[in-house]
Amino acid sequence: MTAYDFYLCRPLMQLPRALYVHVPFCLHHCGYCDFTLVANRDQLIPEYLAALGTEFNDQLANVAGLIGIDTLFIGGGTPTHLTPKDLSTVFEVIRRHFLLIAGGEFSVEANPDGLCDDRLALLRANGINRLSLGVQSFDDAVLRTLERRHSAVEAKEAMHRAFEFIPNVSLDLIFGVPGQTLDSWRDTLSIAVSMPVSHISAYSLTYEQGTPFFRQERAGNLRRAPDELERQMYLDAIETLTSHGFEHYEVSNFAKPGFQCRHNRVYWNADEYFAFGPGAARYIDGVRSTNCRSVVRWLNSWQKGVPCLEETEQLSKEDQAREAIMLALRMVEGLHVPKFEQRFGLSLQQLAGDAIQRHRAAGLLECHDEHLRLTRDGLLISDFVVADFL
């Protein structure tokens, strides 16, 4: 019996409608990044492709026919670090088991460096209709601090080139970088809205335990941006992006009308999804499980035909409901209370009444049109607020 048998016995129509595939290879491991990846170890790519195929075959052995999905997201790492030939192999592995419905969203993450026409043409030919570019900044000094390998000029060139192949381009930006000024951030925002992009994600720099940035900050070699500066940078992002036609639909995400990331909404709606590759996390039938984050350990395990899980948790109905609250509150529209109570058969007031009352009194939550949502002040400390519902 495989690790997935307990839920693949369900009728096909009840299987998840979203798929994530993790590609863990990069040219360079940036100091702030805590994602599962390996850098400058391309000799492992053939083993990865073989193991990925084995994982798909093993975990989906009891499913007859193709599984229809609405969204497909290939992330990393840097998926476009793979050669066109190796990327083609990834697509072939997916197509043996999954079928993206007509009109479905197919996203791939990429970096500006190495994003050549051959790769872009291959992406388009394989149905990718959404490209997520890790630009992070249009200030060369900030890019150097973040250890990015591209320049601001190269990022602009890559974005225009990508738009010619895949018109739906999303852009990632980071603020609160050591040494980054408010003027620098405002210039980056100004350039971003002038680019041919339909979606922008703006994240505050975090210092995750185990990363080089975390160690450098602890040693005093990196100084965090002041809280008030980060606050102003976030408010500037909201003001600039919304004034240029981007809808603020999630704490860190902005989209032109019709271009919200449908795959990420699966996560925020607490819906189910498949996931494959090292470090990939899935949510199916109330069970969250995560593949081991060590790429080498994941490879070695699948070479023996053995799943490599790091965490598995069966969520109770109450835990599922609490997690759904937390995730929905990341959306600017918030949690639709009647739908939530119908879905889980639980009263929101009985489940989280104290937390709701406390944060409403503090001006961090509000009720509007049957939705419980973060206020503007609540958005500024969203992690603190939503954590109170777990």
- Domains of the chain, start order: 5-268 (3.20.20.70), 335-390 (no CATH)
Question: Cα separation of 13 and 17, whole Å?
Answer: 9
Average predicted confidence (pLDDT) for the chain = 95
Q: Is pLDDT above 80 for 211?
A: yes
Owner of token pair 């994982």: 55
Nearest to 195 by CA among 236, 157, 145: 157
Burial class (CB in 10 A: 0-12, 13-18, 19+), 323: middle
> In this structure, what token pair is assigned to residue 15?
């299987």
According to the model, what pLDDT value does residue 7 have? 43
Task: Please give the angle made by the CA atoms of 11, 16 and 17, to the nearest 5 degrees.
Answer: 115
According to the model, what pLDDT value does residue 182 have? 98
Q: How many CB atoms lie within 10 A of CB 108?
A: 26
Share of the chain above pLDDT 70, in %: 97
According to the model, what pLDDT value does residue 368 have? 93
CB 346 within 8 A of CB 318: yes
Phi, psi of 181 (to 5 degrees): -95, 165
> In this structure, what token pair is assigned to residue 220?
């005093």
Note the pLDDT tens digit of each residue in 23-61: 999 999 999 999 999 999 999 999 999 999 999 999 999
Q: What is the mean pLDDT of residues 246-260?
A: 98
Question: Cα separation of 177 and 226, whole Å?
Answer: 10
Please give the model's pTM, rounded to 2 decimal places. Answer: 0.95
Note the pLDDT tens digit of each residue in 346-389: 999 999 999 999 999 999 999 999 999 999 999 999 999 999 99
Q: Is pLDDT above 50 for 2?
A: no
What is the distance between the terminal CA atoms of the chain, rounded to a whole angstrom?
A: 32
